[in-house]
């Protein structure tokens, strides 16, 4: 199994705080059957993790894991919060795509979708990059207006849902929305977004077991294969997206 979104690099964001934490996370990942992790430290107003620093940290962590004989490989990635100058920074070699592929994670603020998003996602694709919107199921505006996400996906963006969301660790509402995204082909990857082994662990196997029981084994194959295709820089599989039909709200007096 491959995890394309994880905060396992030590001491550079709100994920692992030390090499000991990183080692513990790698051991936990291995127990779940994860053999490859794309490290995706934050790039936002709080954490300024740029490509050169990420590459150095990935190399260091791989060396430590080899010394400890932990059979998990770390690959470079990044989780940039959406901002207007992202393409300029990409040209300046500051943005790290997933394992140097054309796939780029994009994070939205948790409570809204910036107005320039559609234009930026278009510009990103014009540059030959493929944006992957991370954890859309935890964005409050997308929950209220899922048609926005449908438009982004229809126009070429991909999305990644968090395993813990699928399994219900962020609450019933987010779990339900995650399942709707799977059902309507509005997501293409399941990843951990793990930050530690306590409050924000991997939960990948649990999520896939649930997906298999609710949606069938084909969805599990799709998500696992897409992660592999990303690592290899190949075209991922996409099903035709469908709009989410919003449930009518009943008001009781």
Query: So what's the pLDDT on residue 251?
Result: 56
C-beta of residue 122 within 8 angstroms of C-beta of residue 130: no
Query: So what's the pLDDT on residue 245?
Result: 83
DSSP annotation of 119 = H
The residue whose two tokens read 């393409």 is 87
pLDDT in tens, the chain (253 residues): 999 999 999 999 999 999 999 999 999 999 999 999 999 999 999 999 999 999 999 999 999 999 999 999 999 999 999 999 999 999 999 999 999 999 999 999 999 999 999 999 999 999 999 999 999 999 999 999 999 999 999 999 999 999 999 999 999 999 999 999 999 999 999 999 999 999 999 999 999 999 999 999 999 999 999 999 999 999 999 999 999 987 655 555 5
Query: So what's the pLDDT on residue 244?
Result: 93
Tokens of 153: 């996906």
Tokens of 155: 């126009």
Give the CA distances from residue 133 to residues 48, 57, 158, 251, in Å, rounded to whole numbers and listed in that order.
Answer: 19, 24, 6, 33
* Domain range 2-231, CATH class: alpha beta
Single pTM value for the model? 0.95
Backbone phi, psi, residue 37, to 5°: -130, 130
Between 172-183 and 204-215, two packed helices, what is the crossing angle to 10 degrees?
A: 60
For the chain, the structural domain boundaries read: 2-231
Tokens of 94: 């500051």
N-to-C CA span, the chain: 50
CA 157/CA 213 separation, integer angstroms = 27
- Catalogue the long-range contacts made by 117-123 (C-beta closer than 8 Å, 24 or more residues apart): 117/82, 117/152, 118/151, 118/152, 118/155, 120/82, 120/84, 120/86, 121/152, 121/155, 121/156, 121/157, 122/155, 123/87
Tokens of 209: 């077991």
Closest CA to 103 of 244, 242, 218, 234: 234
């Amino acid at each position: 199994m491959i995890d394309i979104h994880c905060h396992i690099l030590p001491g550079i964001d709100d994920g692992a705080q030390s090499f000991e934490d990183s080692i513990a996370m790698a051991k936990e990942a291995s127990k779940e059957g994860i053999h490859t992790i794309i490290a995706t430290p934050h790039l936002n107003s709080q954490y300024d993790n740029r490509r050169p620093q990420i590459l150095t940290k990935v190399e260091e962590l791989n060396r430590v894991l080899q010394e400890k004989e932990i059979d998990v490989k770390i690959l470079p990635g990044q989780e940039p919060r959406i901002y207007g100058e992202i393409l300029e920074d990409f040209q300046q070699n500051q943005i790290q795509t997933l394992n140097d592929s054309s796939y780029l994670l994009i994070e939205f603020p948790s409570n809204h979708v910036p107005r320039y998003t559609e234009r930026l996602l278009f510009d990103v694709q014009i540059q030959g990059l493929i944006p992957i919107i991370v954890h859309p199921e935890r964005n409050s505006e997308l929950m209220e207006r899922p048609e926005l996400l449908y438009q982004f996906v229809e126009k070429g963006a991909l999305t990644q849902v968090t395993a813990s969301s699928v399994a219900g660790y962020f609450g019933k509402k987010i779990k339900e929305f995650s399942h709707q995204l799977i059902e309507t082909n509005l997501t293409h990857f399941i990843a951990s977004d793990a930050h530690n082994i306590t409050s924000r662990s991997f939960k990948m196997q649990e999520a896939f077991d649930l997906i298999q029981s609710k949606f069938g084994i084909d969805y599990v194959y799709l998500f696992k294969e897409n992660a592999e295709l990303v690592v290899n820089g190949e075209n991922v599989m996409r099903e035709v997206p469908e709009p989410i039909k919003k449930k009518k709200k009943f008001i009781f007096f």
